[in-house]
A and B are shown apart, each in its own frame.
Chain A
Amino acid sequence: MERFFNSPSQENPPEKSVEENNSEEHKESAVPRALDLSLHNKSSSPERFREEKKLESRGRDLYEDAKYQNFKNITDYEGLAGFEPYKHLLEGSEEEMTPDDFINIGLHEKFLKEKKKEQEGANAPQVELGSSSVEPDREVPQSDDSAKEGSVTPGEFEVPENVAASIYATDLYREAMRRQDKKERKASKTKEEPELVYVGKNNDSIEVIEETIDLNSAREDFARSELSLAREGLKGKRIEDVARAEEAAYTEHVYRSALKKERQDLVAGLGEVEDRERRIKEALLKTTALEAVNLFDKKTEIIAKEREGGFSESIVKKVQAAERWYRSLRPRNKILIAGGLLAAGGAGAALGGVIGASMVGAALTGKTIQRVFAGAGIGVALEQAMKSAQESKERRAIERAFGREGGEKIIEIFENSSSALDEALLRIESKQGRHKVQRYVLAATGGGLLASGVAASAFEYVSENTSGFVESIRERLGLSEPPQEGFSSLPGPDLARSEIVLPGSEVVPSPEFYVVEPGDTMYAVLEKSFPEVTALEGQAQANAIENILAVIKESPTEFGIQSGDVNILSVGDKIDLEKINEVLENERIGDRSIAEHAKSFLEDDVVAEPSVVERVDIYRDLEDQLSLDADTPQIERGESYVENIPPAETAEELREFFRQTPGYLTRTVALEEFMEMIERGSVDAEMFRSFEESVVGSDHNLSPDRYQYEFDVIRQGEGVYGLDEVARVERELGSAFDRLWAGPGPEDFVSKESLETDSTITETETITEFDPEAIHSKLDNIFSEANAQVDSYVEKGEGYSIEGRINDYDKLESSFNSFIDLIKEGALSAEYFAEYVSESGVTGARATASYYDRAFELIRDPSSYQFSLREVGVAHQTMKTLFQAMWLERSR
């Protein structure tokens, strides 16, 4: 294919392609392209957005444009004989044609018409066009530019406007897709509906339908039909058009039949079970409700896709993002929103704030939560729903603490728990200096909500079975009523787990120690043993726990961790809660306790005092923190490279800026969710392994604390699932990364060496003043090599397009989203990576930002394949400086 483009350039140079022009635009920029785009990305105006969309659009048009160019060049240099390979396209039946065939035919026709005009305009001898079997009346969209191309000198085929050709080709493609879609739908119906019958016409045939229809396709057809009827105002009304009425009735019948079959299968699958009738009723109700949701979802999918003008993709993505956002929420927040939405009245106001949050992937802030509460006028119903979600967690905790039989008894008590006791416990919870009393209760329940009846009843149960203790506690709780009847007959708890003697000389479950069980982690122990920690949310809770852990890790054995490593608990370890409580009460950060300090990390204020810096300072001794076993390569250690980041001018200003980088926060929230899921037992080993690989293979967003945190999660998870994979996974992925570099050599890319040189580190580290121009300049130097490489790969991508190497070009396109997957599979060669990088020049800021992420991702210690925290720290410093530069730039 190359010849078609080399030859014309000698005699009659082709006009510059759109991409060539595009490339020149890029090259004109003095600021490194990636930096330039990323700095402006978040503040992009509608005009800038439109500009970028146009660039992307032109990139897509390459596909069509290249085809047209090929046709033209073929005939330029080979005459019509050059079309021989394409003739079969014109001879096949329309039914057999693919969308590409339609495009080729259309472009062929366009070319011939243009050529004919050229020849007529020059009064030149007729060109034999008879070889074409183009049907004269075939409906092919026409380009508006054809008329003005009629005065071309013979032999000098003026290259038509690329954009016009692209529009023309796009029209063709749309028409082709419409035909293809129609054909496929027809074929689908033919296949799935061997006997098209209507209700009542032929019962045997109906049975055939029920055996062969697929619920998914039936649902989609029915959803389309329902939407169409609703929009025409015909839903639920008499349809005058008989054919239309029959079609609608049939579509509904097929769907209902599929549902009926599904229900029959469901009932048959239940078999003979106890209380079968109730079970069947519940199963049918549940599946019917969920099917209603599925149908509603299908209609939403159709609605999202139907917008024209190139917006449907964007709308679909936003709808999918809303779904992901909701699913990523903490269970409590999910239920909160559900309660706000589903409770009577106020749904509009409640969901309004939620849509905003979902659109930008933001953490659910207190403000939004308040709105949901206030807007919906919910109350008891929501509270109960939230309680319900908590119950499952508590139920398991209780069973762990008291054994299955004892747990069941206590759960029974829960149903009749004393509200007076609940209230008393809540009062105590709010008081300072009463941690011991709270922990008694928590230890007794295995860690549950104090406010729930479970905690109260369990406490009474334990008290009743440990005479002497009860009076003491009752007195402290300010309770006067006697215990409820029946407690004394309950089986005793498993006291063997841990025993201490409290004042009163009675043996009770240990309030002073937490006895480690399989699956426990220090995170979980701290979370469930200290209500003041439990009461904190999100980053605040993580901050408190991390600060406690930072103290514990100085002498883990003194706190009962036999391994000497906070990350490695052994079953049976007795964690000294009293000693931890002393840390909570006495340890000071500034003039505040750990818990008070953490409260400043409430979700709305999460970046007021960036936890990244604080945590890295605390975790400076990385060797201890990562606690690698003997077989695990050691992670490179070094001094902190982020502690010198200067503070923002005002906390409020920086907070405002970080609010606009929601992605920075949501991943931590997601990790917390995952930890909770592990604790709840709702993560199976396979899901965990998948998570583990994704974490180890991710870029960690240049944040040492996140890296540390993710490692915490992984190690906890491995303990739960009995795995010891993290070292292997990291080694293998590290090898994959190294293979990436093994081909063309580091000098061909943004070399990791270039990021690791002393001068680079010095440059990034000395950027401590907020001078945007200086920062631009210095980073321009740092990344100049990168930009030069990007330019070279942009040219490569353009080459693919111009040469008509559509498959290679498509590969570039698809590689963008599958880059990480390919790495995981070890299938991403260095050459492929080069192609990937080249795409960053084609699709603008999004790809460029990703490009830098990937470049940083490759910062690894080649000797161990471990991430180098030192380098991550440097990179983090760079990004942090960038963020602050952006913030300053925007604030001007």
Chain B
Amino acid sequence: MNSPSLLSDLGLGDLPSEDQALIAERITEAILKRVTAEFLNELSADDLEELEGFSLGATPDEIEDFFRSRFPDHDARIEKVVAEFKEEMGSHLADLENN
């Protein structure tokens, strides 16, 4: 069974498919949360208040536009989080190899 490349790259491609699906979901959830936390944490107080003000009635696209306008390097930031995760996961798996 093939799997998304990150899992294969990390050497998890041979795990049973159900385990791979579980890990992929947990990773996605963790990255989604991290990206959300980092974006929000770096917004100015005014921006945070503005976001609070309109997010209840906003569409997903409006939210995304908001973040993209505040973070011109929006995509790169997300990819950086993914890269950080990959590095950390690699470190854990290396630790497993060594112990």
Residue numbers of A with Cβ under 8 A of B are 41-46, 48-50, 53, 256, 259-260, 263, 282, 284-286, 288-293, 295-297, 299-300, 303-304, 306-307, 309, 311, 314-315, 318-319, 322-323, 326-327, 334-335, 337-339, 341-344, 347-349, 351-360, 362, 365, 367-368, 378, 380-382, 384-385, 388-389, 391-392, 659-661
Chain A residues whose C-beta falls within 8 Å of the C-beta of B3 in the assembled complex:
381, 384-385, 388
Q: If the complex has contacts A289-B93, A388-B20, are A359 and B30 also in contact, measured as CB distance less than 8 A?
A: no
Cα distance A690–B53 when bound, in Å?
34
Q: If the complex has contacts A292-B92, A323-B29, are A352 and B1 also in contact, measured as CB distance less than 8 A?
A: no
The 3 lowest CB-CB distance pairs between A and B, nearest first, are A348-B75, A356-B60, A356-B63
Q: Say yes or no: A343 contacts B28, CB within 8 Å.
A: no
Q: Say yes or no: A353 contacts B52, CB within 8 Å.
A: no
Q: Say yes or no: A286 contacts B19, CB within 8 Å.
A: yes
Q: If the complex has contacts A362-B60, A660-B59, are A342 and B2 also in contact, measured as CB distance less than 8 A?
A: no
Residue of A with least CB distance to B42: A307
Cα distance A352–B64 when bound, in Å?
6
Residue of A with least CB distance to B92: A292
Nearest CB of B to A756, in Å: 31
Contact of B60 among A44, A49, A256, A360 (CB under 8 A): A360
Chain B residues whose C-beta falls within 8 Å of the C-beta of A303 in the assembled complex:
34, 37-38, 41
Cα distance A45–B8 when bound, in Å?
47
Cα distance A358–B61 when bound, in Å?
11
Nearest CB of A to B58, in Å: 6
Chain A residues whose C-beta falls within 8 Å of the C-beta of B21 in the assembled complex:
335, 338, 385, 388-389
Nearest CB of B to A225, in Å: 14
Chain A residues whose C-beta falls within 8 Å of the C-beta of B41 in the assembled complex:
303-304, 306-307, 315
Please give 4 more A-B residue pairs, beta carbons under 8 A apart, in addition to A46-B49, A343-B6, A351-B31: A318-B40, A323-B32, A343-B5, A344-B6
Chain A residues whose C-beta falls within 8 Å of the C-beta of B85 in the assembled complex:
292, 296
Q: Say yes or no: A354 contacts B46, CB within 8 Å.
A: no
Q: Say yes or no: B7 contacts A342, CB within 8 Å.
A: yes
Chain B residues whose C-beta falls within 8 Å of the C-beta of A359 in the assembled complex:
36, 55, 58, 60, 63
Chain B residues whose C-beta falls within 8 Å of the C-beta of A360 in the assembled complex:
55-56, 58-60, 63
Cα distance A389–B22 when bound, in Å?
10
Contact of B23 among A256, A289, A368 (CB under 8 A): A289
Q: Say yes or no: B62 contacts A342, CB within 8 Å.
A: no
Cα distance A295–B68 when bound, in Å?
28
Q: Say yes or no: A341 contacts B28, CB within 8 Å.
A: yes
Chain B residues whose C-beta falls within 8 Å of the C-beta of A347 in the assembled complex:
75, 78-79, 82
A-B contact count (CB 8 A): 243
Contact of B36 among A335, A338, A355, A388 (CB under 8 A): A355
Most chain B beta carbons < 10 A, residue from A45, A259, A297, A359: A359
Chain A residues whose C-beta falls within 8 Å of the C-beta of B79 in the assembled complex:
347-348
Residue of A with least CB distance to B62: A356
Chain B residues whose C-beta falls within 8 Å of the C-beta of A355 in the assembled complex:
32, 35-36, 39, 63-64, 67
Residue numbers of B with Cβ under 8 A of A are 1-8, 10-12, 15-41, 45-46, 48-50, 52-64, 67-68, 74-79, 82, 85, 88-89, 91-93, 95-96, 99
Contact of A388 among B1, B10, B54, B77 (CB under 8 A): B1
Q: Say yes or no: A322 contacts B32, CB within 8 Å.
A: yes
Chain A residues whose C-beta falls within 8 Å of the C-beta of B37 in the assembled complex:
300, 303-304, 315, 319
Cα distance A384–B88 when bound, in Å?
26
Cα distance A357–B57 when bound, in Å?
12
Q: Say yes or no: A46 contacts B50, CB within 8 Å.
A: yes
Which secondary structure dominates where chain A touches chain B?
helix
Cα distance A829–B7 when bound, in Å?
53
Nearest CB of B to A823, in Å: 26
Cα distance A42–B85 when bound, in Å?
36
Chain A residues whose C-beta falls within 8 Å of the C-beta of B58 in the assembled complex:
356, 359-360, 660
Q: Say yes or no: A356 contacts B59, CB within 8 Å.
A: yes
Cα distance A295–B93 when bound, in Å?
13
Nearest CB of A to B82, in Å: 5
Q: Say yes or no: A260 contacts B99, CB within 8 Å.
A: yes
Contact of A296 among B1, B34, B75 (CB under 8 A): B34
Q: Say yes or no: B33 contacts A322, CB within 8 Å.
A: yes
Cα distance A256–B39 when bound, in Å?
30
Residue of B with least CB distance to A348: B75
Chain A residues whose C-beta falls within 8 Å of the C-beta of B6 in the assembled complex:
342-344
Chain A residues whose C-beta falls within 8 Å of the C-beta of B46 in the assembled complex:
46
Residue of A with least CB distance to B19: A286
Contact of A288 among B33, B59, B93 (CB under 8 A): B93
Residue of A with least CB distance to B24: A338
Cα distance A451–B11 when bound, in Å?
29
Cα distance A259–B1 when bound, in Å?
29
Contact of B4 among A343, A389, A660, A661 (CB under 8 A): A343
Chain A residues whose C-beta falls within 8 Å of the C-beta of B7 in the assembled complex:
342
Chain A residues whose C-beta falls within 8 Å of the C-beta of B92 in the assembled complex:
288-289, 291-292, 295
Q: Say yes or no: A42 contacts B56, CB within 8 Å.
A: yes
Nearest CB of B to A233, in Å: 14
Q: Say yes or no: B36 contacts A327, CB within 8 Å.
A: no
Most chain A beta carbons < 10 A, residue from B8, B37, B58, B62: B37
Q: Say yes or no: A337 contacts B34, CB within 8 Å.
A: no
Contact of B56 among A41, A295, A297, A327 (CB under 8 A): A41
Q: Say yes or no: A335 contacts B60, CB within 8 Å.
A: no
Contact of A315 among B40, B49, B75 (CB under 8 A): B40
Q: Say yes or no: A326 contacts B28, CB within 8 Å.
A: yes
Residue of B with least CB distance to A312: B41
Residue of B with least CB distance to A375: B75
22 residue pairs bridging A and B, Cβ less than 8 Å apart: A42-B57, A44-B56, A46-B49, A49-B50, A290-B26, A293-B27, A293-B29, A311-B45, A315-B48, A322-B33, A335-B24, A337-B28, A338-B25, A342-B5, A347-B82, A356-B59, A356-B63, A356-B64, A362-B59, A388-B18, A659-B59, A660-B59
Chain B residues whose C-beta falls within 8 Å of the C-beta of A307 in the assembled complex:
40-41
Chain B residues whose C-beta falls within 8 Å of the C-beta of A46 in the assembled complex:
46, 49-50, 53-54
Q: Say yes or no: B23 contacts A348, CB within 8 Å.
A: no
Cα distance A299–B2 when bound, in Å?
30
Nearest CB of A to B72, in Å: 12
